Structure 1
Amino acid sequence: MANLKLHRATVKKVGAAVHQHDGGSKAGMLERAFTFAFRGLVYAQIWEDPVVDMEALAITPDCHVVTIASGGCNVLSYLTADPARITAVDLNTAHVALGRLKVAAAQHLPAAAFHRFFGEADSRSNVRVYQDLLRPHLDAVTQRYWEGRDLIGRRRIRGFASNIYKRGLLGSFIGSAHLVARLYGIDPREILAAETIKEQRRVFETRLAPVFDKGFVRWLMDQPASLFGLGIPPAQYAALSNDDPGGIRAVLRGRLEKLACDFPVGDNYFAQQAFGRRYAPGAGRSVPPYLEPAHHADIAARAGRIDFLHANLAEHLAGLPAATRDRYILLDAQDWMTDAQLNALWREITRTARPGARVLFRTAAAPTLLPGRVDDALLDRWQYRAAESLDFTARDRSSIYGGVHLYVLKG
């Protein structure tokens, strides 16, 4: 019963954000199908590059950061910049539960156990560690989530005994993509053996790229529901499709090409998750900043500065005093929004922002989506850092977004 309440809470909040059409229309049915898919864990790992984020945000020790939580990786990684406070909100109760678990683990696990729990996430000992060392420090709602069962009857906490990164909506999507590739005799892990960028490109062009020309794959990509596993609702699918004259197939091929060819795979944990479904093993591997051993002491000491809340971002901001927040990270949530929702959000961001505040967000398509949609009087309060945004977009190792955008409050 408790798990059902959690699911209903997620569906209600996600539905309020996503539903833009009547439920009887084709668009409305797709939106409701997305809401149904989004009710459980979506991202075991967030897919925005925290290194780019922290450079763009220029976090200082007096900053109060407000962000959408997603998988929580970036929330904890921002602690390496030593902010005063981080408030992480999410519409999805599973993401909130994952974030709270990470905070408890950072505070109460030795470094080796913390890295085994989230960096490897495939040891039976992790379940015992949860029971003995983490459970006593979790609130009742978070306990119920991890001790409950998923749709096929598996205890959720056991995901950390069998590679949590293969679970969730995105993990299942990546697994399905691997399965389709193998049907055509291709193992996506081949690219992880490449020792140079040149070799990565050869593998991409000769092994991975031809899959996009297969009839079944072309048909799949033309179905908006096929990308629900990436957390892409129908409105965002439309924006993505329009980002290239070649349509959705050209866009997806281009994004995969960037992931496969623009950065050394050994230094890109996003590529390792996409092509290998885990972080690469061994010392010196690429992992999110919060999992880097050199940062563990700081993460442990600062984890208490984070609050994870099950909330709508605009509604959360509406309850805050004016001029009290410094950094805002919106991920790609604005791609989901109507003009009315965008204006409501930016009114609250502008009202709660201190002088010099920064807003960072991503879009499925390349351009910033705010001009012409957010009221000019609001948007004129902010400076769009166009050149910097293009540079951040080029250097974002996750490679799945068309644009990374930075706005700075004037004055």
Structure 2
Amino acid sequence: MTAVAKRIIDDAVVRKDAKAGDRLLDRAFALAFKGLVYAQIWEDPVIDMEGLQIGPGMRVMCIASGSCNALSYLTADPAEVVAVDLNRAHVALGKLKIAAIRNLPNYERFRRFFAEADHRENAAVYRESIAPHLDPQSRRYWEGRDLTGRRRISHFTRGIYRQGLLGGFIGLAHLAARFYRVDLRKVLAANTLEEQRAIFETELAPVFDRAFVRWLTDHPASLFGLGIPPAQYKALAGDERMAVVLRRRLEKLACDFSVRDNYFAWQAFGRSYDRSPAAPLPPYLERRNWPLLRERISRIDIRNANMIDYLAQSDAASHDRYVLLDAQDWMDDAQLDALWAQITRTARPGARVLFRTAAEPSLLPGRLSTDLLSRWTYRMGQSKQLTARDRSSIYGGVHLYEFAG
């Protein structure tokens, strides 16, 4: 990792005004965050597109993460999607997907590479059809070696969704569940929501009452694998023990949505996507959207950058939609003001901003400057509806703001 990339991540994660112990935790998280974190993004793109109402001619800025959502937004026909990310592994993953969409011969090959992501022939597919079209930096990343000494591109022959910080965390969760004689995959075999709830109540929920689980999750470092930095841990826990919060979020994931229509549940409880013809998949991986992605792939631009820096270099009134994921949970008040000053400056009339928070309420009131906040209208009712229907289930709130001018 270059010194510039290290600085970008440290500046975003390490709280300058925190106590020494908290800064040490921040630096530990920053170190963990410098590799691949999310092979799949954990925000529901269907909810994003519904709230944002992306349409023709619009310019969208988002955080890339695994690029699943950035690519999925292309199905709504925007003029451009600019996806920025602090993490070079995420940027390399997004550019790998772009090169694959442009150069793989058909949907079947694309699906085997990214939806199943564990076929031995994927190594040859990469070498022959994708690698020649990658930029040098992304190619160096995928052909470089991970901590085990394997080339990173081999993730796609062994299951990319079992790799990275989140993939490892989910793997450890499955291992811990087996220790307590719980098979998480049972949820995926349920035929009704009633069966899903029965499995959760009888097998999954009791695990969170175990003394060891409560003790372990009381430590912020235990959730680094979820991509949750220490600052966000505090917002997520609130006044409750973390085990209680995690149980409630897992209950929503396991019980509120049919596993036949929720690919997040498959990743959490099965560590992969369902492979049946009718499998739930992110929009960019759906067969029906393959022609649209091929046609519109030139409209996406993925950059290794801080979103405040990117917006500061953009023209005034140049963007229509902004997707901030949960990044604001990491920010202090000065950073929030800097971000929203640039969003407000670059927003076109009617622009919309969507973001998520670990806790339920929007974090802007009382923290963002009154002058900036007064220029945006909070769509409270719609935000509550979007939160309830977000299939990823791990966030307390989905929040939608509209530019009032």
Fold match, TM over 0.5? Answer: yes
Counterpart CA distance in 1 for 2:19 and 2:332 is: 19
> Aligned letter for 1:138?
L
Does residue 407 of structure 1 match 2:396?
A: no
The Cα shift of 1:304 comes to: 1.0
Quick check: 2:214–2:242 contact (8 Å CA) kept in 1?
A: no
Residue of structure 2 in register with 1:180 after alignment: 176
Does residue 144 of structure 1 match 2:140?
A: yes
Number of aligned residue pairs: give it.
Answer: 404
The Cα shift of 1:111 comes to: 1.0
Residue of structure 2 in register with 1:218 after alignment: 214
Does residue 18 of structure 1 match 2:13?
A: yes
| Aligned positions of 1:115-130 closer than 5 A | 115-130=111-126
Quick check: 1:21–1:27 contact (8 Å CA) kept in 2?
A: no
| Aligned positions of 1:3-402 closer than 5 A | 4-5=1-2, 8-21=3-16, 25-109=20-104, 110-242=106-238, 245-402=239-396
Q: Report runs of 4+ in structure 1 exceeding 4 Å deviation.
A: 21-24
**CA-to-partner distance for each residue in 1:51-84, whole Å, 9 max, x for gaps?**
0000001011110000000000001100110100
Query: Is the partner of 2:112 in helix, strand or coil?
Result: helix
Structure 1 unaligned spans of 5+? none
**CA-to-partner distance for each residue in 1:150-175, whole Å, 9 max, x for gaps?**
11211100000011000000000000
Counterpart CA distance in 1 for 2:357 and 2:333 is: 15
Counterpart CA distance in 2 for 1:22 and 1:339 is: 11
Quick check: 1:11–1:38 contact (8 Å CA) kept in 2?
A: no
Give the TM-score of the pair, scaled to structure 2. 0.98
> Aligned letter for 1:354?
R
Relative to structure 2, which stretch is displaced further, 337-346 or 210-219?
210-219
Give the TM-score of the pair, scaled to structure 1. 0.97
Counterpart CA distance in 2 for 1:31 and 1:246 is: 22
Quick check: 1:335–1:363 contact (8 Å CA) kept in 2?
A: yes
Quick check: 1:77–1:289 contact (8 Å CA) kept in 2?
A: yes
Counterpart CA distance in 2 for 1:24 and 1:362 is: 26
Counterpart CA distance in 1 for 2:224 and 2:93 is: 20
**CA-to-partner distance for each residue in 1:88-134, whole Å, 9 max, x for gaps?**
00000000000001111111112111111111001111111111011
Quick check: 1:165–1:278 contact (8 Å CA) kept in 2?
A: yes
Structure 2 unaligned spans of 5+? none
> Aligned letter for 2:255?
C
**CA-to-partner distance for each residue in 1:202-221, whole Å, 9 max, x for gaps?**
00000000100111111110
The Cα shift of 1:9 comes to: 4.2
Quick check: 1:23–1:32 contact (8 Å CA) kept in 2?
A: no
Relative to structure 2, which stretch is displaced further, 214-223 or 20-29?
20-29
Query: Is the partner of 2:321 in helix, strand or coil?
Result: strand
Query: Is the partner of 2:56 in helix, strand or coil?
Result: coil
Counterpart CA distance in 1 for 2:119 and 2:318 is: 42
> Aligned letter for 1:132?
E
Counterpart CA distance in 2 for 1:298 and 1:356 is: 26
Alpha-carbon RMSD: 1.1
Counterpart CA distance in 2 for 1:378 and 1:142 is: 38
